[in-house]
Amino acid sequence: MSFPTVRHRRLRGSAALRSMVKETRLAVQDLIYPIFVTHGTGIKEEIPSMPGVYHWSLDRLRAEIDEVAALGIPGILLFGVPETKDACGSSAYDDNGIVQQATRLIKEWQPELLIIADTCLCQFTDTGHCGVVKHNPLTGHADIDNDESLELLAKTAVSQARAGADIIAPSNMMDGYVQAIRQALDEAGFSGVPIMAYSVKYASAFYGPFRDAAHSTPQFGDRKTYQMDPANVREALREAESDVIEGADFLMVKPALAYLDVLRAVRDNFDLPLVAYNVSAEYSMVKAAAQNGWINEEAIVMETLLGMKRAGADIILTYHAKDAARWLGAGK
């Protein structure tokens, strides 16, 4: 009788053995939780397409922040849903804007919790675009004016840092945005505030529920002139490279699930900490299937997040963060 020389099953024989040879581990320290803040009082309003995710007014926010901190989640990503919008998104860089107010409060409540400010204009402009819309006389079309938008984004970042944001996370996909924001932060005395660049951000249908939540659907056209074509991966490396040169401290790939190859490519080519953004529709799809009883939510979420780490992510931005922290045994 001949026996198989190699037996892979030997190392799968018990939970202890499987744990010993595990190559990738997920930890609560890897997670960042996004939070939507809004004006008004008494508001804790569930986002219909994102069950379990809420709009919070500042007077109701404390319990949520304390819960995140108690779970050991190291950071939150703040999205502002402002009261007013205008052509140049001025409530984004108002020192009394919703994100700035929330930041100051959260810093008082939980000084150790890292506040990451999403730096973009799309929730704040009446066009719903991530920059300033200008008529381009050369093409005869409305266009997003890159360089003019940079000034406003830099002002936004400085205002967020002034309010106490620990990390600036620009998601606007304008060219030169990291450089513009880095210079403005340095000039304002915030040379120690890191930039988490949304380096590789695709023009994706997976942001649909977020746009409902943030009221940031473009009022005309789409974001394809600034966000990337889902078909491209070499271009992702060029985007990441320019952010590295311009002084980014973290790189990000977004969305995550349909782009695990891109995460791997960026991981293999750059040494900066790498963030995967497990975006809104990735969350909503899991929630919908779970609500129908079609999947085991915990198993699906943990396998998905592990897949993102295995693909090369160090950090995962996810609406599942609180649940995942609980499933990891945090806060017990």
Please list the active-site residues: 201, 254
Residues 6+ apart with CB under 8 A from 48: 212
Site string for ligand PBG, 124-163 (x = CB under 6 A): ------x---------------------------------
Confirm if 73 and 35 have CB atoms less than 8 A apart: no
- Does 211 interact with ligand PBG (rule: CB under 6 A)? yes
Complex with ligand PBG: residue 94 or 271, whichever CB lies closer: 94
| Nearest alpha carbon to residue 198 among 219, 220, 223, 178 | 178
Residues 6+ apart with CB under 8 A from 45: 54, 55
Site for ligand PBG in 69-108 (CB under 6 A): none
- Does 280 interact with ligand PBG (rule: CB under 6 A)? yes
- Does 122 interact with ligand PBG (rule: CB under 6 A)? yes
Binding region for ligand PBG (CB under 6 A) out of 37-45, 52-60, 63-71, 115-123: 115-123
Q: Which amino acid would we find at residue 94?
A: D
Asked if the peptide bond before residue 255 counts as cis, ω within 30 degrees of 0, the response is yes
- Does 207 interact with ligand PBG (rule: CB under 6 A)? yes
Binding region for ligand PBG (CB under 6 A) out of 85-93, 157-165, 204-212, 230-238: 204-212
What is the torsion angle, in degrees rounded to the nearest 10, for the CA atoms of residue 179, residue 181, residue 184 and residue 188? Answer: -130
Structure tokens given for 14: 């018990």
CB of 17 to ligand PBG, least distance (A): 38
- Does 237 interact with ligand PBG (rule: CB under 6 A)? no
Phi, psi of 10 (to 5 degrees): -55, -40
Residues that bind ligand PBG (CB under 6 A): 118, 120, 122, 130, 171, 207, 210-211, 216, 279-280
